[in-house]
């Protein structure tokens, strides 16, 4: 699984509608409205690296209201949930 974080600038008058349309794209697991330089952050989760082009370039970037995107591809996850799962392998509670 490939995970990417897509930072999105939108037309300010369409933030909720843009977020809803992005969240409906297959391959987008979550969309957040955020403070700061960016308006939205979407999390893309796809099977292969090549699938990101379809989800982000072919679909997300063409949603009305999307002005600019920057994509960050995750190398590795370090969440507590992932660490707990890794150390619990083979042990029953």
Give me the tens of pLDDT residue by residue for the chain, a chain 93 residues long.
Answer: 999 999 999 999 999 999 999 999 999 999 999 999 999 999 999 999 999 999 999 999 999 999 999 999 999 887 666 656 656 655 555
For the chain, the C-alpha Rg in angstroms (whole number) is 15
Parallel, antiparallel, or unpaired for β 28-33 and 66-73?
Answer: unpaired
pLDDT at site 32: 98
Count of beta carbons in the 10 Å neighbourhood of residue 34: 11
List Cβ neighbours of 7 (8 Å cut-off, separation of 6 or more): 37, 38, 40, 41, 69, 70, 71, 72
Count of beta carbons in the 10 Å neighbourhood of residue 20: 12
Prediction pTM value: 0.82
């Amino acid at each position: 699984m490939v995970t990417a974080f897509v930072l999105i600038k939108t037309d300010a008058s369409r933030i909720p509608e843009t977020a809803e349309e992005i969240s409906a794209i297959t391959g987008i697991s979550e969309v957040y409205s955020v403070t700061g330089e960016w308006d939205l952050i979407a999390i893309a989760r796809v099977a292969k690296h090549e699938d990101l082009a379809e989800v982000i370039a072919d679909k997300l970037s063409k949603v009305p209201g999307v002005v600019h995107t920057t994509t960050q591809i995750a190398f590795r996850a370090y969440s507590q949930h992932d660490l707990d799962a890794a150390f619990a392998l083979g042990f029953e509670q």
